[in-house]
Amino acid sequence: MVRTFVAVDLPDDLRARIGGVAEALRESRARLSFVDPALIHVTLAFLGEVPPERLPAVAGALAGVRQPPFEVRVGPIAGDGRREPRTLWCPCTGNGSLAGLAAGVARALEPLGFTPERRPFRGHATVARVRSFHPSLGDLLADLPPDGFGAFTVDRFRLKQSTLTPSGPIYDDLSEVLL
């Protein structure tokens, strides 16, 4: 089985800037596991474990998703809205286009038996996961620069394989769809 998801990669310069700002959070007494900045992405759909022989059909369905390229704004690192956040992320907003792309991906995958997420789509790039919370994390988040990381153009998305290892996930691109 192949653990797969569909994502928009952030440009490397943006990833590096986010990773740099996230460094300040290492001072916190919360237990955090940071996403390798080189891997920061926006998940459009999580498919879970897929039999390898089904991957060509998945890639084929995704290739039919049509949408013009669009801009996404990347907000500052923030908690996920819970009082004790479990995820730290940069909210990503594309004037509806990012949610539209996620919906298009979900529509393309539904006939293959992938049930769409019931939760409303919230575009985000995960920066760290909170293994155990400590109030010092809230203080450090509040002290981060309030400005976001700017915008980038989404002109493609990718089907990815995720291999979980003790030192973090390894992602491999399985297919790419140009918008």
Pairing of strands 170-178, 156-163: antiparallel
Q: 3-state SS string over 129-175?
A: EEEECCHHHHHHHHHCCCCCCEEEEECEEEEEEEECCCCCCEEEEEE
Confirm or reject binding of residue 5 to ligand 2AM (CB under 6 A). Answer: yes
Among this protein's residues, is 134 annotated catalytic? no
CA distance 68 to 143: 37
The verdict on 114 binding ligand 2AM (CB under 6 A) reads no
Closest to ligand 2AM by CB, 135 or 159: 159
Distance CA 143, CA 52 (A): 45
161 binds ligand 2AM (CB under 6 A): no
Q: How far apart are CA 98 and CA 38, in angstroms?
A: 21
Size of interface with ligand 2AM, in residues (CB under 6 A):
5
**CB of residue 20 to ligand 2AM, shortest distance in Å:** 19
Q: Which of 21, 54, 126, 176 binds ligand 2AM (CB under 6 A)?
A: 126
CA distance 73 to 148: 8
Catalytic residue among 15, 124, 158, 160: 124
Q: Taking the complex as a whole, how short is the minimal distance between the CB of residue 125 and ligand 2AM, in angstroms?
A: 7
DSSP three-state, residue 85: coil
Beta carbons of 43 and 7 less than 8 angstroms apart? yes
Is 67 a binder of ligand 2AM (CB under 6 A)? Answer: no
Contact letters for ligand 2AM, residues 11-50 (x by CB under 6 A)? --------------------------------x--x----
Active-site residue list: 41, 124
User: Which residues contribute to the site for ligand 2AM (CB under 6 A)?
Assistant: 5, 43, 46, 126, 162
